[in-house]
Amino acid sequence: MREETPNDPLIDSTLVRHLVAAQFPQWKDLSIRQVVPGGVDNRTFRLGENMLVRMPSALKYMLQVEKEQQWLPKLAPWVSLPIPVPLGLGLPAFGYPWKWSIYSWISGETASSAHISTLSDFATTLAQFLLSLHHIDPTNGPLPGPHSFYRGGELATYDTQIRHAIAILNNTINANAVMEVWETALTTCWKSASVWLHGDVSPGNLLVEEGRLRGVIDFGQLTVGDPACDLAIAWTLFKGESREVFRSLRPLDAGTWARGRAWTLWKALIICAGLTHSNTVEVANSWRIIDEVLLDHRRNAL
């Protein structure tokens, strides 16, 4: 979770109502209800029954708006699951300083709270979705950078941060084992052509309906590059048989899986070390993820 600052704009239903009425009068009479939980990078509001309003919560997330507006309509016909389709681009007004979006609504509950009928079937459907995304022509797609928080780029971007986290947690983790995972990954690189990647394949961005995966949301970190970061779900959600099903359907080399473990470990470590704002549930889950990654590394080391 992102820690709010005094400079953050107040984003509530009243603001959204004013913005919609002024810029999209055709929808001004529709109901507006805040979605809770609504994400970290953006505040989300349901607009009527078939749309949602997505409002960046800070300047650093504003870069994602026009990227999603440009690329999601082009990707949607080619992927195997529904993804949000932009229906309108909003402009700054009423004290809100950034561009914002209206999207189609996709029904379902997030995988972080919904019942999943069979985790192995879920892993199969997600792997197929990622394969369909990776097969789309990446020409002129956005390269990794601040807009994607360097997902799809070099792991070394976060080398200083992860070493800081390890120093903080030195007495509570196996620092040598953690460094082995990280440094092993740093010796590898993506040698194939860049592919499209979601950038944040996490339970909170996967929609479940009737126990099955039905849609993928939140493409703010969308980019083209190394798909390793899209493997993190293997340790954050899957385990045992479901992880092996997911792994078997992702035709990637051992180095890419090593980088996937490292991306996963980086996020879990900075949460446990208090380098990013989080809650007690996220911290407890991150400790579990660290254990999963270390065990998987021992079983599948290069």
pLDDT digits (tens, 9 = 90+) for 205-230: 999 999 999 999 999 999 999 999 99
Give the mean pLDDT of 7-23.
94
The CA–CA distances, whole Å, from 213 to 55, 103, 113, 134, 234 equal 25, 20, 13, 18, 15
**Confidence bin at 135 (pLDDT 50/70/90):** very high
pLDDT tens, residue by residue, 141-192: 999 999 999 999 999 999 999 999 999 999 999 999 999 999 999 999 999 9
Read off φ and ψ for residue 114, nearest 5 degrees: -80, 155
Break the chain down into helix, strand, coil percent, rounded to 5.
45, 15, 40
**pLDDT at residue 96 above 50?**
yes
Specify the pLDDT at position 2.
Answer: 43
Q: Right CATH number for 110-300 from 3.40.190.290, 3.90.1200.10, 3.30.70.60, 3.30.2320.50? A: 3.90.1200.10
Give me the amino acid identity at 43: R
Q: Is-contact 128 216, C-beta < 8 A?
A: no
pLDDT of residue 3: 44
Domain boundaries, the chain: 13-106, 110-300
The percent of residues in the chain predicted with pLDDT above 90, rounded, is 92
The whole-chain average pLDDT of the chain stands at 95
Question: Dihedral of the CA atoms 247, 249, 255, 256 (nearest 10)?
Answer: -100
Whole-angstrom distance, CA of residue 285 vs CA of residue 283: 5
Q: What is the spatial distance between Cα 97 and Cα 125, in angstroms, rounded to a whole number?
A: 39
- pLDDT for the residue 1: 39
| pLDDT, position 7 | 67
Stretch 97-117: mean pLDDT:
96
> Would you place residue 4 in the very low, low, confident or very high pLDDT band (cuts 50, 70, 90)?
very low
CB 212 within 8 A of CB 120: no
pLDDT of residue 302: 59
**Above pLDDT 70, what percent of the chain?**
97
Distance CA 146, CA 61 (A): 9
User: Tens of pLDDT along 37-82?
Assistant: 767 789 999 999 999 999 999 999 999 999 999 999 999 999 999 9
Fold of 13-106: Phosphorylase Kinase; domain 1 (3.30.200)
Task: Count Cβ neighbours within 10 Å for each residue of 210-237 and write b for 16 or more, e otherwise.
Answer: eeebbbbbbbbbbbbbbbbbbbbbbbbb
Per-residue model confidence (pLDDT) at position 58: 92
Q: Is the pLDDT of residue 195 over 80?
A: yes
Per-residue pLDDT reduced to its tens digit, 229-265: 999 999 999 999 999 999 999 989 999 999 999 999 9
The answer to whether 166 and 262 are in contact (CB under 8 A) is no
Mean pLDDT over 116-139 rounds to: 98
Instruction: Round to whole Å and give the CA distance between 207 and 29.
Output: 28
R_g of the chain, CA atoms, integer Å = 19
Would you list the DSSP string of 140-194?
TPPPSSGGGTTTTS-GGGGHHHHHHHHHHTTTTS-HHHHHHHHHHHHT----S--
Instruction: Report d(CA 59, CA 170) in Å as an integer.
Output: 34
